[in-house]
Amino acid sequence: MSESMAELFRCVTSGVYVVGVASAERHNAFTAAWVSLVSFQPLLITLSINPRHSSYQLLKSGGVFSLNVLRRDQMALAEHFGGPNKNDKLSAIDWRPGKTGAPLLNDAMAHFECEMTAEHPAGDHVLIIGRVVGGTLLQPDAIPLSYRDTGDMDGASALFPARF
């Protein structure tokens, strides 16, 4: 195999999102690419999160999350929320709480609001299932940022095995 595992897995198409979480008056957000629509009836979205991530406990205690769809020109925003945990990643960003309380980025292409319905262990991550309770398409002509467009922004190439 001439390609690296990271290059191979970049062929699995997915978008890049900022996931907002909230519990009471606490808010946080992080970049995620492992997100998918999983049901039409009811509308369900799943996302994958590392249970050691600081937002995981906030998500579990609040039971809500937002999915902010990034545009192709928002790589810097993806890097901001994908970087190491800072005191308040949202402080320098224009956002508002949605009806669930989860952060909605005002400059996102679109956003969804979800209530957590289930979680399932998945290797070194946990799959969170959320029922979509709201959403808005803010910029219908924008092109979404794809995971492939981010290169190795998240450092994932170091986490893949050398081969199968």
Each domain of the chain, given as residue ranges in start order, spans: 17-154
**pLDDT at site 1:** 40
Q: What is the pLDDT of residues 136-149, one digit of tens each?
A: 999 999 999 987 77
Q: What is the pLDDT of residues 84-123, one digit of tens each?
A: 766 789 998 999 999 999 999 999 999 999 999 999 999 9
Give the mean pLDDT of the chain: 89
DSSP 8-state class, residue 2: -
C-alpha span between 50 and 85 (Å, rounded): 13
**pLDDT at site 88:** 84
DSSP string, 35-79: EEEEETTTTEEEEEE-TTSHHHHHHHHH-EEEEEEPBTT-HHHHH
Average pLDDT over residues 42-71: 96
C-alpha span between 33 and 55 (Å, rounded): 15
C-alpha span between 8 and 72 (Å, rounded): 21
Query: Which residue, among 85, 83, 111, 78, has the nearest Cα to 97 in the 3D structure?
Result: 111
C-alpha span between 35 and 160 (Å, rounded): 19
Average pLDDT over residues 73-88: 86
| pLDDT at 23 exceeding the cut of 70 | yes
> Does the domain at residues 17-154 carry the CATH identifier 2.40.37.10?
no
